[in-house]
């Protein structure tokens, strides 16, 4: 099946009451971990780069080729969309140009009229090439690539207007934020999500800031219409925890580890990357998208 746009499998998830993971990648190994997890779970998946990760990976073109070529060389059979996460207008256009199969245009920092206008333009250009489009209303809090939002509930009328632009799935603030949740976080506003999905019946909603939300809240949100959940921080935390543990073990067993040449990056990074795979598999189970490929 391999590389596809995302609108069909996200719509199928919405219709059948589960959610697809949108997992952020940072490099080649991270991409392999996500692909291995998706294949093991037989789950459709979006592999997404933020604008910063795109630059880090050597530009969108390089990122796209890494994902695309790995899908081929790893004999991946599940549907995979190559997605831009939180893209500015110019970045969205560049990703359309280089061959991403899905993208998010994030105009949530713009006045709503301008956000709608620009989204319409992106939709026309992307859909002409069969590329799926996500857009956002109501800033999602936290900090991502320098875009900082205060966290808010998306105005329902803005969501309705945004859906009319022809987008394929909608990110909307429902009390979620990017990054770790503070101890005093009030939780997802499921009443607001319900109002939102009643206003745009059957339309797939995207839950950003998927890391650290209690599983029962995620499941409740999926029941109400969330069909894509974005996860970044949890993968990073899994990687960091396993790598820190490995470094500690290295210190404690230095002579043995040196003799085994565990300083080789292919070995040094392995525990962290394996932890990313395990974290992604675990999320896929919670989202209900295992065996949906
Ligand atoms: P987390 O980093 O909180 O998982 O959020 C990811 C995200 O929403 C990417 O757009």
The pLDDT of residue 60: 98
**Does ligand 1 come within 6 angstroms of the Cβ of 26?**
no
Positions marked active-site: 85
Q: For ligand 1, say whether the CB of 134 is within 6 Å of any of its atoms.
A: no
Q: Pairing between strand 169-172 and 132-137?
A: parallel
How far, in Å, from the CA of 207 to the mean position of ligand 1? Answer: 9
Query: Measured in angstroms, how far is the CA atom of residue 212 from the centroid of ligand 1?
Result: 10
The CA-CA-CA angle for residues 178, 184, 187, to 5°, reads 60
Neighbours of 264 (CB within 10 A): 10
Burial (Cβ within 10 Å: 0-12, 13-18, ≥19) of residue 194: middle
Atom of ligand 1 nearest to the CA of 180: 3
- The pTM of this model reads 0.96
Residue 76, token pair as written in the block? 């991946």
- Residue 145's pLDDT is 53
Spatial contact of 19 and 207, defined as CB atoms under 8 Å apart: yes
> In a 10 Å sphere around its CB, with 0-12 CB exposed, 13-18 middle and 19+ buried, how is residue 269 labelled?
middle
Query: How many CB atoms lie under 10 A from the CB of residue 32?
Result: 18
Q: What are the tokens at 99?
A: 């061959």
Q: Which residue's C-alpha comes closest to atom 9 of ligand 1? A: 230
Check if 197 has its Cβ closer than 6 Å to any atom of ligand 1. Answer: no
Query: Which among 46, 232, 207, 87 is positioned nearest to 140, based on CA atoms?
Result: 207
Q: Please give the number of the atom of ligand 1 that sits closest to the Cα of 211.
A: 4
Atom of ligand 1 nearest to the CA of 177: 3
Q: List the chain domain ranges.
A: 7-232
Q: What is the pLDDT of residue 211?
A: 96
Ligand 1 atom closest to the Cα of residue 179 is 3
Helix, strand and coil percent figures for the chain, each rounded to 5:
50, 20, 30
Which residues, at least 6 apart from 265, have a Cβ–Cβ distance to it below 8 Å? none
Residue 283 beta carbon below 6 angstroms from any ligand 1 atom = no
CB of residue 192 inside a 6 A radius of ligand 1 = no
**Residue found by looking up tokens 């059957």 in the block:** 202
Asked if residue 90 belongs to a known ligand binding site, the reply is no
Among candidates 83, 80, 90, which has minimal Cα distance to 43? 80
User: Rounded distance, CA 18 to CA 172, Å?
Assistant: 18
Quick: pLDDT tens for 13-26: 999 999 999 999 99
Helix 190-199, helix 215-224: angle, nearest 10: 20
Residue 116 and residue 162 in contact, taking contact as beta carbons nearer than 8 Å? yes
CB 97 within 8 A of CB 87: no
C-alpha of residue 233 to centroid of ligand 1, in Å? 6
Q: What is the dihedral of CA 232, 186, 171, 98, to 10 degrees?
A: -20
Distance (angstroms) between ligand 1 centre and the Cα of 2 equals 24
Low-confidence ranges of the chain (pLDDT < 70): 1, 141-151
Does residue 236 have its Cβ closer than 6 Å to ligand 1? no
What digits encode the pLDDT tens for the residues 246-291?
Answer: 999 999 999 999 999 999 999 999 999 999 999 999 999 999 999 9
> Was 192 annotated as part of a binding site?
no
Which CATH number applies to 7-232: 3.20.20.70, 3.40.50.720, 3.40.190.290, 2.60.120.10? 3.20.20.70
Q: What's the pLDDT at 161?
A: 98
Q: Is residue 206 classed as helix, strand or coil in its secondary structure?
A: strand
- Look at residue 152 in the predicted model and tell me its pLDDT: 79
Quote the Cα angle for 54-113-138, to 5°: 60
Does residue 183 sit in helix, strand or coil? coil
Residue 53 confidence (pLDDT): 98
């Amino acid at each position: 099946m391999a590389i596809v746009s995302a609108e069909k499998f996200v719509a199928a998830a919405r219709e059948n009451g589960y959610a697809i993971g949108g997992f952020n990648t940072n490099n080649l190994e991270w991409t392999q971990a996500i692909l291995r997890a998706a294949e093991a779970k037989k789950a459709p998946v979006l592999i997404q780069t933020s604008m910063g990760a795109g630059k880090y990976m050597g530009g969108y073109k390089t990122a796209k080729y890494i994902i695309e070529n790995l899908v081929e060389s790893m004999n991946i059979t599940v549907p995979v969309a190559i997605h831009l996460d939180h893209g500015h207008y110019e970045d969205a256009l560049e990703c359309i140009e280089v061959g991403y199969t899905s993208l998010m245009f994030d105009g949530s920092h713009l006045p709503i009229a301008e956000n709608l206008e620009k989204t319409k333009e992106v939709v026309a250009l992307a859909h002409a090439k069969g590329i799926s489009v996500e857009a956002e209303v109501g800033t999602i809090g936290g900090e991502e690539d320098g875009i900082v939002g205060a966290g808010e509930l998306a105005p329902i009328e803005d969501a309705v207007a945004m859906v009319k632009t022809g987008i394929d799935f909608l990110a909307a603030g429902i009390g979620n934020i990017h990054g770790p949740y503070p101890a005093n976080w009030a939780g997802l506003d499921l009443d607001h999500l319900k109002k939102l999905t009643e206003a745009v019946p059957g339309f797939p909603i995207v839950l950003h800031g998927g890391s650290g939300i209690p599983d029962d809240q995620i499941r409740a949100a999926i029941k109400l219409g969330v069909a894509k959940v974005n996860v970044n921080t949890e993968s990073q935390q899994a990687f960091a925890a396993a790598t820190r543990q490995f470094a500690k073990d290295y210190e404690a067993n230095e002579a043995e580890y040196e003799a085994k040449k565990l300083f080789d990056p292919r070995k040094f990074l392995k525990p962290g990357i394996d932890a990313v795979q395990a974290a992604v598999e675990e999320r896929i189970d919670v989202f209900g998208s295992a065996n949906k490929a």
